[in-house]
Amino acid sequence: MKPSNLVEQLLDEAPKRKGRMAQVTAVAVNRNTGKQVGEPRTEEIDLDNNEIFNGEVGRACDTWLDVKKRYEEFWNDLNGKTKEMVFVQSVTMPDGQTQRAPVPGGSRAKLSR
């Protein structure tokens, strides 16, 4: 193995310093029926090292509402015009504070982007 490849491999394997961690719980909702699809999913997000949330792409996420909006924008834009939309149910910020967000559901109204 060439030295430069070894250095690159070691750098790739080196543990990255964790930043401020937020926990997001989200659910998919059918656009046509407004009904929940599947189970909620919880994901940990490194607010300092994830470019979607740290300001490298757009504005840095400093509040739970910033995280909620950015998470929903990312997944709903990534997935395009699918049958489902992603809605955040709750965000736990690094300080331990959890905010719950209302999620559409049970409504027969058509959900649009």
- Strand ranges (E), the chain: 21-30, 36-46, 84-92, 98-100
Instruction: Residue 87: count other Cβ atoms within 10 Å of its Cβ.
Output: 22
User: What's the rounded Cα separation, in Å, for the pair 93 and 42?
Assistant: 13
The residues, any chain, with a CB within 8 Å of residue 70's CB and separated by 6 or more, are: 52, 53, 58, 61
Longest Cα–Cα distance in the chain: 61
Instruction: Calculate mean pLDDT across residues 6-17.
Output: 64
Domain borders along the chain are: 19-100
How do residues 37-93 score in pLDDT, each as one tens digit? 999 999 999 999 888 898 887 778 889 999 999 999 998 887 667 888 999 999 999
- Residue 6: pLDDT over 80: no
Instruction: Residue 48: count other Cβ atoms within 10 Å of its Cβ.
Output: 15
The answer to whether the pTM exceeds 0.75 is no
How do residues 92-108 score in pLDDT, each as one tens digit? 999 999 999 876 654 44
